[in-house]
Amino acid sequence: MPVMFINDQPVDTGEHRTVLQVALANGFYVPHFCWHPELSIVGNCRVCVVEQEGRGVGIACNMPVAEGLRIQTESEPVRAQRKAMLQFILLNHPVDCGICDKAGECTLQDYHYAYNGAPALSHEPKLHSTKFFPLSERIILDNERCILCSRCVRFTREISKSNVLGMEQRGDGMRVRPVEDRTLDDDPYSDNVIDLCPVGALLSRSFQYQARVWYLEPTASVCPGCARGCTVQLWHRRHEWRLKGLDGSHNERILRVTPLENPRVNGAWICNKGRDLGALFGRPRAGQALLKGRPVLLAEAIDAARRLVRGAGRRVALVSSWGSNEELRAFRNALADRFTSFVKADHRPGEGEVVEDDLLIRADKNPNTHAAQALFGNAPADIPDDTELVLVWGEGADFSTLPRGAKIVHLGAWLQPENGYADVFIPISIQTERHGHYTSFEGVVSAFEPCQRRPEGVIDAETLFPLLAAPPGSDT
């Protein structure tokens, strides 16, 4: 294993090929804008400078590792050059942090405080450029803030391969632009460029001006949008920053979704569908138990369901592929012997949605089909006409195709017309209200955490199943 020296400490270079990678892997932070582990090396920001003893200052991202290389990351020439580069970058940057969504998590802001900190040397007026350039229905571009690191351009060329973005003009008039006749709407992974952007040049329309990021905190979760099971972070207001003046839903709202880096599943990316989980989880919730459309107490509904589960003859269950591993196990342990169970696809590809591609998106639009089929088989739903009870767990069942004489017990989370059609409707919790795990199509198990309170009158499916198995009249 080649050994080199960073700040006079010997470090093992391992598999790394550049000095920057070795430094970062060994805890020597070297600031960088344009370099990204998943993208090609362009070396254009010139901030990641280090001193190679005897050879002077150079950029670390393109400096090959060599045996016995001696690197200084904090020597005087390095500091001076880094500072000068930051001054160049800030020369035409508007420094409108006060109204910039990136403020608080902006690399340039952090580096300025860490490595520059000096007032501007320039007295010249800043160059102006386009503000609010629409790149797509989802993304706007602020060219004044852009530092031209080209991460977004490389992303569309190397990762999403939509080739939508490019540079036009040259010198300090250079701008990121979509190529002719195209927009980022063509790219199902476009929102990743917002995270990639080291400054606030690429902005999400849905998150714009919604919150200062320091009021927010992320909760680790798993995207239920398809069988890939990408790990994500759901951003919502920090607990200590919840405002009494706002109603509860506002304080708990999911304001944005970002990828949670996970080399085994999704790397550093998620698709645009995953970015919209806030809307998915923000749909009107069902909070009222119903008996044939008549509002009843939850305990009453559970008792009615128990009677049906005990009394009916032939029983079929349509198991949700959105249930967590824990819920699926609870169902099997408590109720599987009373039902013939089929796994149901709760969601199918929507109109205009990318069905499948080579990067992340899978055709199965449900998060836990893999685990559900492992427990209940993958046979297609075959419901005999003499079925007396159908337990429908989750969305996606067409009630009109169920046998006419069968009673229906529906466990659902959303406000939907068929809730009132069922003989018993019991509202259950959603992913953001409970702990759990999903198993991806590759068999990778990922955990999700709650970030919202379970509404009144709603029960976790995991708690519900043992209750349904108990005799009528037992405690609930």
Partner 1 sequence: MPGRKVLMDFEVTPDSHSLAAYRARGGYQALEKALRTMQPREVTQEIVDSGLQGRGGAAFPAGRKWQGIDPDDGQPHYLIANADEGEPGTFKDRWVLEYNPHALLESMLLASYALGVRHAFVYIRGEYDIPWRRLDAAVEEAYGEGLFGEDILGSGFSCDLFVFRGAGAYVCGEASSLLGSIEGSRAYPRNRPPRMTVRGLYQAPTVVNNVETLATIAWILRNGAAAFRAIGTERSPGTRLISVSGHIRNPGVYEVELGYSWAKFLHEDCGGLLCNKPLKAVIPGGISSQVLTGKDAKVLTAEEVECLTLDHEKLRSAGSSLGSGGMIVIAEGTCMVRLLQIMLRFYHHESCGQCTPCREGTGWMHRVIDRIVAGEGRPEDIDTLHHVARYNDGTTICGLGDAAGYAATAMLDNFRDEFEYFIEHGRSKFGGNLECR
Binding site residues, partner 1, CB under 8 A = 41-47, 49, 56-57, 59, 62, 64, 81, 84-85, 88-89, 91-92, 121-124, 127, 147-148, 167, 169-174
Which residue lies nearer to partner 1 by CB, 178 or 412? 178
What phi and psi values does residue 318 have, to the nearest 5 degrees? -100, 105
Return the number of the residue (167 or 299) whose C-beta is nearest partner 1: 167
Report, in Å, the least distance between residue 154 CB and partner 1.
12
Computed on alpha carbons and rounded to an integer, the radius of gyration of the chain in Å comes to: 27
Q: Minimum distance between the CB of residue 183 and partner 1, rounded to whole angstroms?
A: 21
Nearer to partner 1 (CB atom), residue 178 or residue 225 = 178
Nearer to partner 1, 66 or 297 (CB): 66
Find the shortest distance in angstroms from Cβ 69 to partner 1.
13
Angle at 423 between CA 460 and CA 404, to 5 degrees: 125
| CA-based nearest residue to 163, from 183, 148, 143, 149 | 183
Q: Which residue has the tokens 């069988």?
A: 227
Q: How far is the CB of 35 from partner 1 (least distance, A)?
A: 11
Cβ proximity to partner 1: between 121 and 355 the closer is 121
CB of 240 to partner 1, least distance (A): 39
Rounded Cα distance between 254 and 219, Å, is 10
Residues 18, 62 contacting (CB under 8 angstroms)? yes
Distance of CA 358 to the CA centre of its chain: 19
Rounded to the nearest whole angstrom, what is the least distance from the CB of residue 435 to partner 1 in the complex?
46
Q: 25 is written with which tokens?
A: 């892997």
Q: Which residue, 83 or 242, has its beta carbon nearer to partner 1? A: 83
Closest C-alpha to 476, from 286, 304, 308: 304
Query: Both tokens of residue 329?
Result: 């196990």
The residue (of 123 and 244) whose beta carbon lies closer to partner 1 is 123
Please report how close the Cβ of residue 102 comes to partner 1 at its closest, in angstroms.
19
Q: Return d(Cα 60, Cα 410) in angstroms, integer.
A: 60
| Nearest to partner 1 of 168, 356 (CB atom) | 168
CB of 457 to partner 1, least distance (A): 58
Measured from the CB atom, the residue of 78 and 312 that comes closer to partner 1 is: 78
**Closest distance between partner 1 and the C-beta of residue 18, in Å?**
10
Instruction: Give, for 391, the enclosing helix (H) or strand (E).
Output: strand 389-393
Token digits for 117?
Answer: 């900190």
CA 135 to chain centre: 21
The helix (run of H) or strand (run of E) holding residue 81 is helix 76-91
Task: Give the closest residue to 9 by CA, choosing from 23, 32, 55.
Answer: 23
Name all contacts of 463-466 with Cβ < 8 Å and 24+ positions apart: 464/302, 464/411, 464/426, 464/428, 465/327, 465/330, 465/331, 465/333, 465/334, 465/335, 466/330, 466/333, 466/334
| Nearest to partner 1 of 123, 239 (CB atom) | 123
3-state secondary structure of 195: helix
User: What is the DSSP annotation of 299-346?
Assistant: HHHHHHHHHHHHH-SSEEEEEETTS-HHHHHHHHHHHGGGSEEEEE-S
The minimum distance between CB 49 and partner 1, in angstroms, equals 8
